[in-house]
Chain A
């Protein structure tokens, strides 16, 4: 069933409802769609989707009943169901503890709840850093491959093998 909703607290079976604001379309749990979905409003998926989802300025939510196998382009993405595929988000990706995700995530930021079932490659937008803020040392840019410098082996309180 396809629905339109303006309410924030009436989403069926999703723990992500507080994140949804304004107009959205709901793809119900009895719906299966194969192909490309493009949209200019937020989308909540409780059904099965296979293909591509392109809604670059909006929020995609995969509800707890949702089963999605897709390449996703969205502003923000919330996953509470199952998603296999790659996510390219200009904003935030939120993965709740009910989620089952397998794929790549490129996003500005991410939040993940303990207990999420995850196999992911994560690339976050990195702010340019002149220094490693934790070591106080500049970032090294030596070529890839085995490290040429030995490890420091004389730290206080350590036990060497």
Chain B
């Protein structure tokens, strides 16, 4: 597996070099879990990504896309209060079998993280699952990236230069603390400090 690239000026593995940044065990488990249901509804709040839309829409009944990263970016650029972005997550309670949160929490302060987690908890069905990523200090950069999913659960990190978002790195214990409404189901260390978490609603 290629070394993780945090510097966009280096030729990183996310530049379609044919080598994945890493293989996501958490995503594989996440999909195996939600695909046990019928008429699966999946919500992705990550940056809009064609590969992911095709991947997930081909595997679930209804694939919901609500890019909260670009909403956050526009809100910050306009100087508007960040909490305004949450009005777009206006889905009915218990709408989804799974929610892909990616690294959105790392882009929010504690108050908005709590709002995000509360909404995710409400929107998930009982037994539903949320996938959360934490990039960690060593590999995190202020540059936002999308987690591009390809075959065999390989993930490529593609820079999103149109997004200029603050970075608030969180540690393992911070994530477990912020996700207290959920049951921790599984975590994976992908790189030092870079972790994938699966949380399940009771």
User: Which of A's residues lie within 8 Å of B, judged by CB?
Assistant: 97, 109-124, 126, 132, 134-135, 137, 139-149, 151-153, 155, 157-161
Contacts and interface: CB of A to CB of B under 8 A. Distances in A.
23 contacts: A97-B162, A114-B47, A114-B146, A116-B48, A116-B67, A118-B67, A119-B65, A126-B58, A132-B59, A134-B28, A134-B151, A140-B35, A144-B37, A144-B38, A145-B127, A149-B36, A151-B185, A151-B198, A152-B29, A158-B188, A161-B184, A161-B186, A161-B187
B3 interface: no
B190 to A, nearest CB: 9
Main secondary structure of the interface of A (DSSP, over half): loop
Q: Which of A140, A142, A151 is most buried by chain B, counting CB atoms within 10 A of its CB?
A: A151
Main secondary structure of the interface of B (DSSP, over half): mixed
Interface of B: 25, 28-29, 31-33, 35-39, 47-50, 53-54, 57-59, 61-67, 70, 74, 88, 125-127, 146, 151-153, 158, 160, 162, 176, 184-189, 195, 198, 200
A157 B48 contact: no
Contacts of B38: 141-144
A114 B29 contact: no
B89 to A, nearest CB: 9
A158 B25 contact: yes
